[in-house]
Chains A and B, each alone.
Chain A
């Protein structure tokens, strides 16, 4: 990538903002975001991720992006996974092992039903939105 100027940076920011905001509207792609910091990985986040990928493959679903992110701070409930999809509120799940990952794909994403006992609240409001 070529070096940017100030204008380039602004343009890139606006573009990326739009594509990140698009998650808020109907018709967007489905996103599975997995917390992959050291403790998440130690608690099995890599197994969780491969369980998601296998199940998505099994279900032949191609409109789902699986991404990684850093630590949300819920060490006691790792691995944590957030699901962003149209028609459903953004939901953060904790203690997502392989079985729960499969359940999330089948029930939450395909069935649009939330899963008991795993939902966590976001730890704080997003200061960047204020």
Chain B
């Protein structure tokens, strides 16, 4: 006995609440009624990540995708689809109206995600070059070596509209072209894999899942600009990615896809791995190149840009992992194909690391122009524990927050900048009502102060001062004048810092001050932290009418500052309380309150 068909009912929590259970039961009952219960298995699944259109029902093997299914639809699905083999057209996902911002012409699919960079991740064995080759691996390099001139390659990249994915969004073809135009027998190609943004791991996953696409792209760039040597600068904290890259370089070299005289073309290109050592500033390209040369990774003023004068003062093309991974596919499918994906000004896709207060945390790749709502609610499944969405932080320590008000903004470079954040490398951290915006600003500032290289005063001194002000506010000692001073310092840092780190490090503060002024004011005027995060400002006490005297909080209190008779209301000794919040989280009766 084997089933001929499978009906999958999405059992993610969002769908669960919208009657997925009833659909499941009804489908079973209908199959029995129609006498097909031995032909069809009804299965409950994990979340399908399409929660806005839930509940979802998918029929295999024909992959029919039904959305917004109601329990009473079970009858029709079984009678029509299972028994007669006809799809229930009215329930089929129609698609395109929900994705009006993200254009993908001529390509039909129902998923919200669209994978170019991660096209091989989760499909191929990253430790076997043959599987990469089976998926047209190194075909783009072959095409560049034998069928295209460097100018034609640049032309395709120009047509594609690809911009650097590391943060700043500079057109990739222009970078390459600058290097190409410099006459120098020695040039370098560098891959920036120093993913330093805390809360982002796009590059790590791409390298662990598909190392060859980066190697292939670097060789292509070498051919175009006239370089025979590439370096991958990667975080030492990524041992698995390093291992797979080493293996990939070895395999490609053995097969003649890297090294001397690639595929008999006369072109040679070798790649070497160099480790970072945990300095966030080394994600900045000039600092990275100094670090690659074995020195303290301090940035240098631009111009000269690395494309003209980079590693060891030689012309150097430096792109990040995600940018590189786009290149082979653009050259295989054409710049025009790529330019059809995304928005008017931002082409292609972006990989985000969706984390924080989100149900389905993970790595997502979506076309530019996808809205935050689609990412957070459809793919991410929304906020867990019934909490309310407060903001999403993009761009890490260089970015800002985006509030609920702007959740329907299509994401691209320009829109994020307008909102006072940046695309950054792709960290996307979701925050709920329990997260304090002043505390978040302090967290990021603590990070950038720690990571400032100290070379220029605006960043070294300004960052420290900003941190001290924010710290003062979280302790309830801030004043209104402090806010003005903070803005001044922030703007000065933006204008006067030497590199991207200093220029952008005031962003988290300025952005949270802009969108959540009331939260700063609450800390300053009322000496309270609305989210209950800033320990110096919260008080815990027990509501006598709700406390049943179970004594759980008293037993769990680490400093034994809760007293009370059994079955009598308990009291917290506020003088001794260390505000750990343990009593608040263990009380089952809502008797412990935080203010």
Interface residues of A (CB under 8 A from B): 1-6, 9, 12-13, 16-17, 19-20, 35, 37-39, 41, 67-77, 80, 82, 87, 89, 94-95, 112-128, 130
Which residues of A have CB within 8 Å of B265? Answer: 6
B208 touches A95 (CB 8 A): no
Measured as residues with beta carbon below 8 angstroms from the partner, the interface class of chain B is 35 or more
Which residues of B have CB within 8 Å of A41? Answer: 240
**Count of chain A to chain B residue pairs whose CB atoms are closer than 8 Å in the complex:** 179
Q: Give CA–CA (A76, B380) in the complex, Å.
A: 10
Q: Give CA–CA (A52, B121) in the complex, Å.
A: 22
Which residues of B have CB within 8 Å of A4? Answer: 255-257, 263
Q: Give CA–CA (A116, B355) in the complex, Å.
A: 26
B114-143 toward A: CB 8 Å interface, digit per residue (1/0)? Answer: 111011111111110011011111110010
B44 touches A71 (CB 8 A): no
Which residues of B have CB within 8 Å of A12? Answer: 130, 133
Identify A70's interface contact among B210, B238, B259, CB under 8 A: B210
Minimum distance in angstroms from B35 CB to a CB of chain A = 19
B133 touches A75 (CB 8 A): no
B210 touches A119 (CB 8 A): no
Given contacts A3-B256, A4-B255, A125-B109, is CB(A95)–CB(B46) below 8 Å? yes
Q: Give CA–CA (A70, B126) in the complex, Å.
A: 6
Indicate if B113 sits at the interface (CB-CB under 8 A).
Answer: yes
Which residues of A have CB within 8 Å of B241? Answer: 38
Which residues of A have CB within 8 Å of B138? Answer: 9
Q: A68-B127, A76-B361, A121-B49 are in contact. List 9 more A-B contacts (CB 8 A).
A: A3-B255, A6-B145, A17-B134, A35-B122, A38-B208, A38-B238, A76-B362, A114-B6, A114-B8
Identify A69's interface contact among B8, B124, B130, B264, CB under 8 A: B124
A120 touches B45 (CB 8 A): yes
B1-35 toward A: CB 8 Å interface, digit per residue (1/0)? Answer: 01100101001000000000000000000000000
19 pairs from A and B in contact (CB 8 Å cutoff): A3-B261, A5-B264, A6-B264, A9-B133, A12-B130, A19-B134, A69-B121, A70-B121, A70-B122, A70-B126, A70-B208, A72-B122, A73-B118, A117-B45, A121-B45, A121-B48, A124-B109, A125-B111, A127-B114
Which residues of B have CB within 8 Å of A68? Answer: 125-127
Q: Which residue of A lies closest to B108 (CB)?
A: A125
A37 touches B209 (CB 8 A): yes
B122 touches A124 (CB 8 A): no
Given contacts A16-B134, A124-B365, is CB(A77)–CB(B46) below 8 Å? yes
- Which 6 pairs across A and B sit closest by C-beta, in order of nearness? A70-B209, A3-B256, A72-B122, A16-B134, A73-B363, A119-B45
B123 touches A126 (CB 8 A): yes
Indicate if B61 sits at the interface (CB-CB under 8 A).
Answer: yes
A89 touches B209 (CB 8 A): no
Q: Which residue of B lies closest to A72 (CB)?
A: B122
Given contacts A38-B240, A76-B361, A89-B60, is CB(A123)–CB(B113) below 8 Å? yes
Indicate if B442 sits at the interface (CB-CB under 8 A).
Answer: no
Minimum distance in angstroms from A129 CB to a CB of chain B = 10
B119 touches A126 (CB 8 A): yes
Q: Give CA–CA (A77, B360) in the complex, Å.
A: 8
Given contacts A13-B136, A75-B361, A128-B136, is CB(A69)–CB(B119) below 8 Å? no
Which residues of A have CB within 8 Å of B259? Answer: 3
Q: Give CA–CA (A73, B310) in the complex, Å.
A: 35
A112 touches B133 (CB 8 A): no
B58 touches A121 (CB 8 A): yes
Minimum distance in angstroms from B236 CB to a CB of chain A = 14
Q: Give CA–CA (A118, B22) in the complex, Å.
A: 19
Q: Which residue of A lies closest to B381 (CB)?
A: A76
Indicate if B312 sits at the interface (CB-CB under 8 A).
Answer: no
A5 touches B124 (CB 8 A): no
A69 touches B46 (CB 8 A): no
Indicate if B575 sits at the interface (CB-CB under 8 A).
Answer: no
B8 touches A119 (CB 8 A): yes
Q: Give CA–CA (A116, B241) in the complex, Å.
A: 33
